[in-house]
Structure 1
Amino acid sequence: MGILIRIVVNAFAIWIVTLIPALEVTVVPFAPGEVWQVILTFLIVGAIFALVNLLIGTVLRVLTFPIYIITLGFFSLIVNGFLLWLTAWLTHWWNWGLRVDSFWWGVVAALVITIINWVAGIFLRPKHRRA
């Protein structure tokens, strides 16, 4: 159940990022681009981003742990931007998917996605009560 929530939250966060006109991040939906195709495109891109984050992101975070320590965690912005850029690269082979114009716009978009995921995590995590 947790992975489905993560995919939906990622899709929502990517949708919010595409609404910000200053960021050069877009999603090209399936043809003909009706509402359900757009929603399905966001969900698939959210799933790909979740898988990239889970598989490659975990390895990158372990390998770059000393850099995280030295930069007090700011290197996570670069790693998250790279993962978003990698998601865009993986989906560019089709005529639909995520498009990020430059790596640095991907870093800014990843920061916005991280903030949205953090806020959603506050509300969607189960509350554990101590007796």
Structure 2
Amino acid sequence: MEGFLIRAVVVGIGLWLASQIVPGVEFRSTESLIAAALLLGIVNAFVRPVLIILTLPIALVTLGFFLLVINGLMIELVAWFLKGFVVAGFWPAFFAAIVVGLTSWVMSGWIGGPPKGRIDVVTMRQTGPGRWE
């Protein structure tokens, strides 16, 4: 849950930055920005993976650039659900997806991102013929 909230804050910063940079993306209140960040996290967790699987051949042919289109569509979907979040078409959503993606990338490097896992080193010694410890 903590990781989701950290990602939602980072996405919220990216959405706010996109509303400042990209014409056609705006928030009517701070509450709508917070709601958009949370809802985008939920949409990215459930809807985006399905779309990625369905459009995998296109993503492979375009070397992954089609994922920007999917990210833009996710932002448009969130704007469709929230009345306080306005996106004036596909291109503003596309460029907002780029801004949010870059912000998330920079912030994950700065914050450290989610833990990458753990590596255990196992040392085995032979104690006799055919016996390992």
TM-fit CA distance, 1:19 = 1.1
SS in 1 for 2:27: strand
Q: Deviations over 1:92-125 (max 9, x none)?
A: 2xxxx21001111110111111111111111222
Opposite residue 102 of structure 1, the aligned amino acid is G
The one-letter code sitting in structure 2 at the alignment partner of 1:45 is: A
Structure 2, unaligned runs of 5 or more? 122-133
Q: Percent identity?
A: 33
The aligned counterpart of 1:33 is none
2:4 maps to what in 1? 3
Taking only aligned residues, the RMSD between alpha carbons, in angstroms, comes to 1.7
CA positional deviation for 1:84: 0.3
Q: Contact between 2:3 and 2:114, CA under 8 Å: does it hold in 1?
A: no
Please point out which of 85, 88, 93 is paired with 1:98: 85
TM-score (norm 1): 0.81
CA gap of 1:43–1:52, structure 2 versus 1, over 3 A, is same
Equivalents in 1 of 2:46, 2:97: separation in Å?
17
Unpaired segments of 5 or more residues in structure 1?
A: 30-37
- Size of the aligned set, in residue pairs, is 117
Query: SS at the partner of 1:15?
Result: helix
Structure with greater Cα Rg: 2
| Partner Cα distance (2:54, 2:114) in 1 | 30
CA distance in 2, matches of 1:55, 1:121: 21
